[in-house]
Amino acid sequence: MKHALRNALIPFITLVGLAVPELFGGAIITETIFSWAGMGRLYYDAIMASDWPLLQALLVILAFLVIASNLLADVLYAVVDPRIRYG
């Protein structure tokens, strides 16, 4: 169980690491459809109002989330599989 689980975690880490930014992309659609207040609705309202500074700030936040989730996935690869070394 120990050896199989460690090898099976690598694809799972990949899927979870890529799904985190997709959750925020899906929030734009969900919050717009159901009129919920949140970052997705704020992003949509900024697009409709051509609020460029707010759009730039939200894009920077989304870019940071993508980079942070990819970095976390890479670190977890090294934790799960000792054969993976960086550097």
Q: Which of 11, 29, 7, 8 minimizes the C-alpha distance to 19? A: 11
**pLDDT of 49:** 95
pLDDT digits (tens, 9 = 90+) for 10-67: 889 889 888 888 888 888 889 888 988 988 899 999 999 999 999 999 999 989 988 9
pTM of the model as a whole: 0.76
Distance, in Å, from the CA atom of 72 to the CA atom of 78, rounded to the nearest integer, reads 10
In the block, which residue shows the tokens 């870019």? 63
Q: Which residue has the higher pLDDT, 42 or 87?
A: 42
